Amino acid sequence: MKKMMMLLGVLLLSTSCLTIDGHLKVSESFMVKKKGGFLNLKLKDQQVDPALYSASLKVKSDKNYTLELSGGSL
- pLDDT score for 28: 95
Which residues span the domain enclosing 52?
17-73
Whether 3 is covered by a domain: the verdict is: no
Residue 5 lies in a domain: no
Return the SS3 of 15: coil
C-alpha 59: how far from chain center: 5
pTM of the model: 0.62
- Is residue 45 one of the residues assigned to a domain? yes
Number of domains in the chain: 1
pLDDT of residue 66: 86
Find how far residue 45's CA is from the centre of its chain: 17
- The answer to whether residue 43 is domain-embedded is yes
pLDDT (0 to 100) of residue 1: 67
Residue 9 lies in a domain: no
pLDDT per position in the chain (74 positions), as tens? 666 677 666 666 555 567 888 999 999 999 988 888 888 788 899 999 999 999 998 887 777 788 888 887 65
Residue 41 domain flag: yes
